[in-house]
Structure 1
Amino acid sequence: MTIKRVGIIGAGKVGIVLAGLALNAGYEVRISGSGSTEKIDLTIKTLVPGAIAAENEEVVANSDIIILAIPLSRYRNIDAGLFKNKLVIDATNYWWETDGIREEVLSPDSTSSEQVQAYFKDATIVKGFNHMGYHNLQEEAHAKGDAKRKALFITGDNHEAVDTVAQFVDTMGFDQIVHYNLADGIMTEPGSPLFGASLNYEDLKQIIDHFDETEFCKKVAASKFNE
């Protein structure tokens, strides 16, 4: 799959940063916000000149890959069929300050990305860009081989889709640690050792290699991330 056009759903801090990285990498970028195109057009022209402000439908129709960069609690506000046959990077996280009570947003019996996948059942969801803060994403993207280059964790059930996203992440300025199980996205959600991690490949891999996913899953199920 050749990616030339990137669509971003969400014109908040993460969406704007990822739009900038994608433009720097040479992609055509469309981005939508929660309001009308006119509402975000000036913001887009000011912060990421070159990106195209558009409605959700136009973003999806004219993009080879989609990045979902909205508060997790709002993903059900999007038509479940909008992403049909699309490759979607889920960059969302549950965060109590913006999403409210977790039980009202997510079921306790699976990870957030699994629930996003279940909702957008005709799309292919890959988890990525969610454990590193937007400041780090913006400031720590580097060319391949640069000693300062950081790594991102990527996971999903579809091997081909995950590999495509890994190549895309490489062009965005980050190394990649890849898993092929969407449920492993729990390792990057708030409350996990990886959340907030801005590390190079070896340091991030060391954390993942020593990560007891089973025990963490039990912890998550018990606490439901109450903070």
Structure 2
Amino acid sequence: MRTGIIGTGRIGSVLARILVASGHQVVLANARGPRSLGPLLAELGPDAAAAGPVEAAGLADLLVLMVPFETVRGLLPPHVVQDKVLVDATNAFAGPGVAADLGGRGSSELVAEWYPGARVVKSLNTMHFETLAVAGRASGREPESRLAHFTAGDDVKANEIVAGIITDLGFVPVDTGPLHSGGILQQPGGPLFNRPLTEAQALAWI
């Protein structure tokens, strides 16, 4: 499976590194264009490629959005993600550390509206990039000590696909429920956001 990552800031770059280290192929895109990704591609080796956002979406089997939430709408033509698993790893903030008021709706619900036909899963947005970089490998020895990553979505098979990637990365996948309620648990202001939790600890909040 080739994973597309749109957004190659600190967390997007970390995700690319640990995906490649886990045996996955990645195609990367950002707002500055493929040439800006030369140093990262050199680091990642032959399992990584760069493209523009639309091309990356077309080449990927699964696409992860790791861009500012306010840029998601209109980022891609909806048809390029038709029937694809679209992982919303964005976080909606109104300001530094302040969750955006979305009127009781989950941010991923809005993403699903903007990209009808995509199989949207909320995931990979709750963990600080420094923890993401090392925790999967560091906690891989004992299953009960592994940190959790979460999935929320209305497409069971899409959730399972994302859960498989989470497992490959050395984390424990925890299903938080449908896109609305499960996504709200994960987003800024929710009980699972930016809290390194084992599976048992996470289940206490769900």
* AA of the residue aligned to 1:40: L
Two-structure CA RMSD over aligned residues (Å): 2.2
* Cα distance in 2 between the residues matched to 1:144 and 1:159: 28
Q: Please give the per-residue CA displacement for 1:121-148, whole angstroms capped at 9, x wherever unaligned.
A: 1211001011111111111013374554
How many pairs align? 201
1:37-186 to 2 correspondences below 5 Å: 37-46=34-43, 48-50=44-46, 51-81=48-78, 82-97=80-95, 102=100, 107-142=102-137, 143=140, 145-146=142-143, 148-183=145-180, 184-186=182-184
Offset at residue 162 of structure 1 (A): 0.8
* Cα distance in 2 between the residues matched to 1:32 and 1:15: 10
Offset at residue 100 of structure 1 (A): 9.3
* AA of the residue aligned to 2:110: Q
Aligned to 1:16: 13
Q: Please point out which of 15, 22, 26 is paired with 1:25.
A: 22
Q: Secondary structure at the match of 1:154?
A: strand
Q: Given that residues 144 and 173 in structure 1 are in contact (C-alpha distance below 8 angstroms), is that contact kept between their aligned partners in structure 2?
A: no
Q: Secondary structure at the match of 1:155?
A: strand
Q: Secondary structure at the match of 2:92?
A: coil
Q: Given that residues 144 and 170 in structure 1 are in contact (C-alpha distance below 8 angstroms), is that contact kept between their aligned partners in structure 2?
A: no
What TM-score results when the alignment is normalised by the length of structure 1? 0.81
**Structure 1 residues 187, 37: CA separation in 2 closer, same or farther (over 3 Å shift)?**
same
Listed as ranges, the gaps of 5+ residues in structure 2 are none
**Structure 1 residues 116, 77: CA separation in 2 closer, same or farther (over 3 Å shift)?**
same
* Cα distance in 1 between the residues matched to 2:76 and 2:172: 33
Q: Secondary structure at the match of 2:185?
A: helix
Aligned to 2:3: 6
Offset at residue 195 of structure 1 (A): 1.1
Q: Which moved more, 1:36-45 or 1:14-23?
A: 36-45
Q: Please give the per-residue CA displacement for 1:59-79, whole angstroms capped at 9, x wherever unaligned.
A: 122221111111101101412
Spell out structure 1 runs of 4+ moving beyond 6 A: 98-101
Q: Please give the per-residue CA displacement for 1:87-139, whole angstroms capped at 9, x wherever unaligned.
A: 11111101234799946xxx424110000011011211001011111111111
Q: Which moved more, 1:174-183 or 1:24-33?
A: 174-183
Q: Secondary structure at the match of 2:136?
A: coil
* Cα distance in 2 between the residues matched to 1:201 and 1:100: 26
* AA of the residue aligned to 2:127: M
- Relative to its length, the structure with more strand (as a share) is 2
**Structure 1 residues 25, 71: CA separation in 2 closer, same or farther (over 3 Å shift)?**
same
Larger radius of gyration: 1
